[in-house]
Amino acid sequence: MAAGLGTRMRSGKAKVLHQLDGRPLVNHVVQAALALDPKSVCVIVGHQADEVKKAVKAEFPDERVCFAVQEKQLGTGDAINATREMYGNGDSTIVVLTGDVPLITSETIRSLIDHHKGEEAAATLLAVELDDPTGYGRVVRTGGEFARIVEQKDATEDELLIRDINAGFYCFDARKLFAALGKLGNNNAQGEYYLTDIPGIFRSEGEKVSIYVAPDHQEVEGVNDRRQLAMLETALRDRTIKSLMLESGVTFTDPSAAYISSRAVIGRDTVIYQNVAVEGSTIIGQDCVIRPGTRIVNSIIGNGVEIKDNSFITDSTVGDGCTVGPMAHLRGHAEMVEGAKVGNFVELKKTKLGRKSKASHLTYLGDATIGENTNIGAGTITCNYDGKNKHQTHIGDGVKIGSDTMLVAPITVGNGAVTAAGSVVTQDIEPETLVAGVPAKVKKVLNATAPGPETDPPQRVKLTPEESLSRIESFADRKEQFIASIKTSKD
Ligand code: UD1
Ligand code: CA
């Protein structure tokens, strides 16, 4: 059930789309359902139906996941009625899951199903005893036997004292369920058709209703407001970090200030400093150090990597022994090969930085491949964007790119080439060649067997103010032409 708005969230967004551990609430429940290997999982949508469908499909393209639309949110009983066409005529067992109870595990649902089958009941509900049952439906018993469920808003003072609550997970005999749904009324405090009235109807008709008591109360806690959402976020994170410390051998300098996805994998003897966020299905190897303020999303980090303060790495790969940061940005499937180094204010986008190559300061490398043992000087920029298209830069092995070089893509720099500081490179550079200037010209062939072109030593000429001015103008013209031809490094 995922059709409700969730008024108590005070949100413009459907409650089940709010995120826990970086994923919509409903997806946690769908995942638990799919793990049971059912014939189908039907998500009942209503409020923001298209968005909810999209969010579920994005994570679970599985064909067994289907949708039913509850046009108006008239209550949980009415929600199940929206699946009548799909399930109303079968002899199956229907397992009902509540979309806003995200920590439920498939093991607990499996136990609920086994219990239901063992008891041969018409309905079985998952219940748990809570110290503070406020807000939940209470399980009312008479003479020790299940009698009915009463909602918080409909309960008498005596009933409010009951601490056994309905967790919102049920097994039903399909035929009996759909027959009883027709008998539901909405004469209650909320004017809704409550699914929770069905077990009571069964009892009054002499059908067997069974209760399975959940082993862990945290698992069945619902999210009705943002406070509960934050509490579950903390609970889930605590569980994740505890297991990383005790089972995986990861050190946290401050476990209460680390934000680690439950899907992350981290190797032993890795140290995670305070204010580090590891999101999505990130993998971090062993013996790594992740310094404060770093955020890593859906990336793979090898062994023995040091990521210095305040770096941001997303959808990228960092090889063994690499150093990143401080304040580095890797994105768009950037790849650093073993032993490579990226320093402060360096951004890599869709770029492969080869083995032991370095870009230590203030650099943008986008849509580029860089070979081994190459040094990228401070302030280098791959000008990959011409306003319409992105272009590639290829830099070979053992290259030395001088500080403040602009590489106007598409461009190829051969092995062993060198660019002088401030070069604007607009044409491919042959291997073992030194280029300099704006636009960069060949100054020297570095290979001793092939002498380079003659170059005049720079001469200092005393200019008259007029001459000086005309030079400045022609420089301005050249600059104009350049700006027109140079590709910017936007994106
Ligand atoms: C419900 C139960 C309550 C139980 C609690 C457990 C009912 C009447 N009450 O209360 O006994 O203790 O869950 O967490 O069932 N939904 C729809 N369509 C609707 C209404 C709700 O799909 O018309 C969905 C919501 O999106 C949500 C779920 O059903 O995922 C539960 O609805 P909610 O309004 O949160 O019910 P509770 O008041 O928490
Ligand atoms: Ca709820």
pLDDT at residue 449 in the model: 53
Q: What is the mean pLDDT of residues 13-23?
A: 97
- Give per-residue pLDDT as tens, 360-371: 999 999 999 999
Amino acid at 452: G
CB 197 within 8 A of CB 207: no
pLDDT at residue 488 in the model: 39
- Give per-residue pLDDT as tens, 405-439: 999 999 999 999 999 999 999 999 999 999 999 99
Q: How far is the CA of 221 from the centre of ligand 2 (A)?
A: 9
Q: Which helix (H) or strand (E) holds 168?
A: strand 164-173
Ligand 1 atom closest to Cα of residue 78: 23
pLDDT at residue 353 in the model: 98
Q: What is the mean pLDDT of residues 472-476?
A: 52
Q: What is the mean pLDDT of residues 225-242?
A: 97
Ligand 1 atom closest to Cα of residue 149: 11
Beta strands 295-297 and 276-279, pairing class? parallel
Ligand with smallest separation from the Cα of 166: 1
Beta strands 138-142 and 145-150, pairing class? antiparallel
Of residues 115, 333, 361, 394, which has the active-site annotation? 361
447/58: higher pLDDT: 58
d(Cα 372, Cα 324) in Å, to the nearest integer? 17
CB 222 within 8 A of CB 100: yes
For 58, half-sphere exposure in the C-beta direction (CA atoms, 13 angstrom radius) is 11
For 320, half-sphere exposure in the C-beta direction (CA atoms, 13 angstrom radius) is 3
List pocket residues of ligand 1, CB cut-off 6 Å: 1-4, 16, 44, 46, 70, 73-76, 78-79, 98-101, 136-137, 149, 151, 165-168, 194-196, 222, 224
Q: What are phi and psi of 242, to 5 degrees?
A: -60, -45
pLDDT at residue 481 in the model: 59
Q: How far is the CA of 221 from the centre of ligand 1 (A)?
A: 12
- Give per-residue pLDDT as tens, 248-306: 999 999 999 999 999 999 999 999 999 999 999 999 999 999 999 999 999 999 999 99
d(Cα 301, Cα 283) in Å, to the nearest integer? 6
Buried b / exposed e across 459-488, counting CB within 10 Å, b at 16+? eeeeeeeeeeeeeeeeeeeeeeeeeeebbe
Which residues have C-beta under 5 Å from ligand 2, the single-atom ion? 100, 222, 224
Residue 394 among the catalytic residues: no
Token pair, residue 378, equals 């401070």
Q: How far is the CA of 10 from the centre of ligand 2 (A)?
A: 14
The torsion of the CA quartet 290, 291, 292, 296, rounded to 10 degrees, works out to -40
pLDDT at residue 458 in the model: 44
Q: What is the mean pLDDT of residues 119-138?
A: 96
Confidence of residue 463 (pLDDT cuts 50, 70, 90): low
Res. 487: pLDDT tops 60: no
Q: Which helix (H) or strand (E) holds 23?
A: strand 23-24
- Give per-residue pLDDT as tens, 329-358: 999 999 999 999 999 999 999 999 999 999
Ligand 1 atom closest to Cα of residue 14: 26
Q: How far is the CA of 171 from the centre of ligand 2 (A)?
A: 18
